[in-house]
């Protein structure tokens, strides 16, 4: 399986052309659109999307990540090999969002030009480099053939949740989905074991609002009710039952959210 993650959207034929190249080099390879609507050039969002997704894919999947503001400049392209998957991405910090979770990872710098299309454009390495390299990997190419191993990997400055002296957990909004669900960087791991056992005592504060208790389903909150719930990516989410929490809270990425517990 080759899974594609880009900020190319669906207006143009960019994604379609990448698939053409892949199928030319790897006939019959199953291609999955993981997501093509990452905010343009938003490397952090791409990393977040991938972090919540990769574990669900088959062993051997090649993830092709083309969110690449530096295309055409001297930025490197990396391949990260893990026990289950391969990840192709520019060396712009995208992989750093989740790579710490995966032990036994190896990085290669993609430099073997014999794998690229014959003519490489200045602006569309997704087609000219990423697609043919992914196809070669899907056909069984040993990642060692891509180029030299490397240990130098760019990383983003991630805002991690912090626990203050009075026991309040302080995080922030990292993503808003199509339904207006507001997703925070407070993982189940960061909240546990408190959350499981003390679900009803949780107090979430965001955008001047206070939510008491964690819900198990949207319906629990009643029509148009604001609620907090452990989301499907394993992070605390703020939602409105039958509506958009984003519209109600007017919140954006980076806004603060705190979790404390009633006594």
End-to-end CA distance of the chain: 50
> Considering the complex, what minimum distance in angstroms separates the CB of residue 213 from a copy of itself?
13
Query: By CB under 8 A, how many residues form the interface with a copy of itself?
Result: 63
Closer to a copy of itself by Cβ: residue 44 or 71:
71
52 binds a copy of itself (CB under 8 A): yes
Site for a copy of itself in 172-231 (CB under 8 A): 177-179, 215-220, 229-231
Closer to a copy of itself by Cβ: residue 170 or 243:
243
> Considering the complex, what minimum distance in angstroms separates the CB of residue 157 from a copy of itself?
19
Q: Taking contact as CB under 8 A, which single stretch among the options 50-58, 90-98, 196-204, 254-262 is the one that binds a copy of itself?
A: 50-58
Q: Determine the distance from the C-alpha atom of residue 29 to the mean position of all C-alpha atoms in its chain, rounded to a whole number.
A: 23
Binding to a copy of itself by CB under 8 A, coded x per residue (else -) over 8-27, reads: xxxxxxxxxx-xxx-xx--x
Q: Taking contact as CB under 8 A, which single stretch among the options 89-97, 143-151, 192-200, 234-242 is the one that binds a copy of itself?
A: 234-242
Cis peptide before 213 (omega within 30 of 0): no
Of these, 87, 98, 124, 130, which contacts a copy of itself (CB under 8 A)?
Answer: 124
30 binds a copy of itself (CB under 8 A): yes
- Helix or strand or coil: residue 195? helix
> Considering the complex, what minimum distance in angstroms separates the CB of residue 114 from a copy of itself?
18
Residues 6+ apart with CB under 8 A from 245: 180, 181, 182, 226, 238, 239, 251
Helix 131-138, helix 14-25: angle, nearest 10: 40
Closer to a copy of itself by Cβ: residue 66 or 107:
66
Q: Give CA–CA dist 183/163, Å, rounded.
A: 18
Residue 116 corresponds to which tokens in the numbers above?
């690229």
Q: Give CA–CA dist 251/235, Å, rounded.
A: 17
> Considering the complex, what minimum distance in angstroms separates the CB of residue 144 from a copy of itself?
26
DSSP notation for 27-52:
TT--EEEEES-SPTT-HHHHHHHHHT
CA count, 13 A, side-chain hemisphere, 150: 16
Element (H, E) at 145: none
Q: Taking contact as CB under 8 A, which single stretch among the options 92-100, 123-131, 162-170, 201-209 is the one that binds a copy of itself?
A: 123-131
DSSP-derived secondary structure letter, 245: H
Residues near a copy of itself (CB under 8 A): 1, 3, 5, 8-17, 19-21, 23-24, 27-28, 30, 32-37, 40-41, 49, 52-53, 56-58, 61, 69-73, 121-124, 127-128, 177-179, 215-220, 229-232, 237, 239, 242
């Amino acid at each position: 399986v080759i899974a594609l993650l880009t900020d190319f959207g669906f207006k143009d034929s960019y994604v379609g052309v990448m698939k053409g190249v892949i199928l030319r080099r790897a006939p019959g390879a199953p291609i999955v659109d993981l997501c093509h609507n990452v905010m343009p050039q938003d490397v952090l969002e791409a990393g977040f999307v991938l972090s919540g997704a990769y574990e669900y894919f088959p062993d051997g999947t090649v993830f092709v990540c083309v969110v690449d503001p530096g295309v055409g400049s001297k930025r490197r392209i990396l391949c990260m090999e893990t026990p289950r998957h391969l990840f192709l991405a520019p060396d712009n910090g995208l992989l750093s969002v989740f790579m710490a979770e995966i032990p036994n990872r190896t990085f290669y710098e993609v430099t073997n030009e014999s794998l690229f299309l014959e003519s490489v454009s200045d602006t569309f390495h997704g087609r000219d480099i990423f697609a043919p390299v992914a196809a070669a990997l899907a056909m069984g190419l040993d990642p060692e053939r891509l180029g030299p191993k490397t240990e130098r990997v760019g990383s983003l400055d991630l805002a991690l949740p912090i626990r203050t002296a009075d026991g309040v957990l302080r995080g922030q909004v990292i993503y808003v989905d199509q339904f207006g669900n507001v997703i925070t960087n407070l993982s189940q791991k960061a909240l546990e074991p408190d959350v499981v056992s003390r679900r009803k005592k949780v107090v979430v504060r965001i955008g001047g609002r206070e939510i008491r208790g964690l819900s198990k389903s949207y319906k629990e909150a009643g029509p148009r009710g604001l609620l907090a719930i452990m989301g499907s990516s394993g992070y605390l989410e703020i939602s409105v039952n039958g509506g958009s929490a984003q519209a109600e809270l007017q919140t954006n990425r980076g806004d603060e959210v705190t979790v404390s517990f009633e006594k």
